[in-house]
Chains A and B, each alone.
Chain A
Amino acid sequence: MIATNEVSFRVDAGGRLVIIGPNGAGKSTLFNLLNGQLMPDAGNVFFFGQDVTRLPLHRRAHMGMARSFQLTSLFPELSVLENMMLALHGLRSSRFNPWRATLSYWNLLDKAEELLSLLDLWSKKDDQVHMISYGEQRKLEIALCLASSPRLLLLDEPSAGLTSDERLAVMEIIRKLPPDIAVIIVDHDMDLVFGLANRIIVLHYGQIIAEGTPEEIQADPRVKEVYMGMEEEKT
């Protein structure tokens, strides 16, 4: 089965690319190809000029690629702070240390406090992750990605299941990201899509049917057709 077919695009440092498309358009598959969860049958993934098509996930992470997951993918039995520490150790050689206590790395704890405070999670630091609310889990999901100071950030439906207030907060966080990192977002929320994107790709049945600035996409007749079609199906 071809979920993603002859998709070709690039995103530059500082770019805010949003990928939209109906359910089943191949958005998550595309993400899995980009970060290495899946290997493509054909084609290549280049990361800052380097071919990473055959590199495993953890190697891509070390090159500066971070990803959040559509279905919350945290460590439920560990505390919020411990989750954060796992993410912070991930790209450092300290991750192999079998001797020193993980909660004694003061410089990393400072970093954890900074990131958790940014996302309003510091007061929850000692709570086990399965105890905090869904919205907080989504925010922690993003915090884990930021821990690695990535050069490319892949956000898979960051606003899914959030209340409108939380959605605004998440948008604010994405907007405040350092301007030099590239961000690719998949989302359905149109406020978020048009509020953040400087470039949009529309996927449909695994193919790009439109690509351009938010204004161009809004005016594109084929995009309207795809989404109108969906509206009709619903009614």
Chain B
Amino acid sequence: MGRPSPIQDRKLPAGRPMASAVPYLTAAVILFILPLVLPSYYLSVLTMILIFGLFAMSLNIIFGHTGLNSLGHAAFFGMAGYIAGISIVTYGIKSFWISTPLALAGAAVTAAVFGVIALRVSGVYFLLVTFALGQLLWTIAEKWYSVTMGRSGFVGIPAPDLGISLLDLGTPVRFYYFVFVIFALCYYLMARLHRSPFGYALQGIRERESRMSALGYNVWLYKYIAYIVAGVFAGVGGILYAHFNGSIAPSHIGFSNSALVMLMVILGGAGTLWGPVLGAALIVLIQSFASLVVPARWPLILGILFVVGVMGFRGGIGPHMVKRVRRIFSSGSYQS
């Protein structure tokens, strides 16, 4: 073999892989044990957190990493949810292994088409175009009654049928573990992406687009691929949600859902990996409690939450927490 790399010995960026595994393992263990002790209502909240956490992470690929402010991300979430539901209920495609690829392909094609249109502009215009495209789908979902069942939503979507009797997902606990496994898998894939040359290229584009071109990157192509990838991951969230809820409605494809997921990302910390999951957890938790106690006040609470989050935790709650923890650990090591 060749000479040993001088950098290899130096343990470049200070032993990240091993140290970072600890919080992940802890989180995984907690998420694994929780459903065994949680009452069923809280189990459904936890399932929602994972689904929306996944959805928020997908938006983060374009919003946080690439710097594309999309206000139509629910389009892919809703599109996949509708296709999954319609293919199962209307067309009788029972198998999860067929309905899901169909739905994901639908989300990917939608993103591929929307991307061509939206990526012709940038900045606030991108925001407006994605918003308009999302509303277009929302209108279709609401008006095309014969296919989508209109305003009240498409109902009757069963639990996923994996075709293996041992893996019957009929109970909430089993469905939770199913969501958990898919969430973990998607998280892992997005984490790899984040640290890969492709992921760094996206961050470079966020920070200095013209320089990236000068370095040899085809900026448009990167944005386009990122947009489609984000759309597919959002689609995974949408499919899980459709199965979980048993229904999917126009509101899931339209502006309110797009805005909600954007708040999750901003609140949790755009550009970080797990910040959006934290943001999703916070919003889903507060939403579920608010809907029990003061259902009519949810928009007000959401508004306050957002203002406090943006003013008190600039850059998101996630990064603030990391800083705090680092400070505790580093001061500890100085004393010892």
Q: Chain A interface (Cβ within 8 Å of chain B)?
A: 35-37, 56-58, 61-62, 66-67, 69, 73-79, 81-82, 85-87, 89-91, 94-103, 105-106, 109-110, 113, 126, 144, 147-148
Contact = CB atoms under 8 A, between A and B. Distances in A.
A69 B211 CA distance: 9
B325 interface: no
A224 B215 CA distance: 38
Given A97-B196, A98-B196, A113-B7, A74 B201 contact: no
A148 B218 CA distance: 15
Interface stretch (B80-88, B135-143, B202-210): B202-210
- The secondary structure that dominates the B interface is helix
Interface residues of B, number: 30
A75 B203 contact: yes
B213 A110 contact: no
Contacts of B7: 106, 109-110, 113
Contacts of A77: 203, 207
Nearest to B213: A57
Interface of B: 5-8, 12-14, 192-193, 195-201, 203-204, 207-208, 210-219
A66 B6 CA distance: 28
A148 B293 CA distance: 61
Contact of B211 (A75, A79, A101, A126): A75
A147 to B, nearest CB: 8
A95 B197 contact: yes
Nearest to B202: A98
A152 to B, nearest CB: 12
Contact of A66 (B14, B201, B212, B214): B214
B193 to A, nearest CB: 5
Nearest to A89: B197
17 contacts: A58-B214, A61-B216, A69-B211, A74-B211, A77-B203, A77-B207, A79-B13, A90-B217, A95-B216, A98-B193, A98-B196, A99-B196, A101-B196, A103-B12, A109-B12, A110-B7, A126-B13
A35 B207 contact: no
Contacts of B207: 75-78
Contact of B198 (A73, A87, A97, A110): A97
